[in-house]
Amino acid sequence: MKLRPSYKPMEITLIKKDLKKVDLRNNIDVSSSTLARMAKSEPVSLAVIIKICEFLECDLHDVVELIEVEDNES
């Protein structure tokens, strides 16, 4: 069993706060390449996730969760 990040919680949090990913890019300098990695469920630095949590005023679990994947899906 392997784990990979899922940023669906961030999508939900953005919707609840009536925000878009561009707001992250404009307000906390999250690069478009980082947002692209997040869209592909690839790991990003914890520092970026913390900045997102601070901006959205939410907890870690409101931005990212770990999901199980088959070993051959990585």
Give the CATH number, domain containing residue 38.
1.10.260.40
Q: Which two tokens stand for residue 21?
A: 């990913």
Run of H or E residues at 2: strand 2-6
Q: Which two tokens stand for residue 73?
A: 């899906």
**What pLDDT, on a 0 to 100 scale, did the predictor assign at position 34?**
94
Which range marks the domain in which residue 58 is found?
A: 2-73
Q: What is the reported pTM? A: 0.88
Tell me the pLDDT band of 71, cut-offs 50, 70 and 90: confident
Judge whether residue 72 has pLDDT over 90.
no
**Domains of the chain: total:** 1
CA 21 – CA 66 distance, rounded (Å): 20
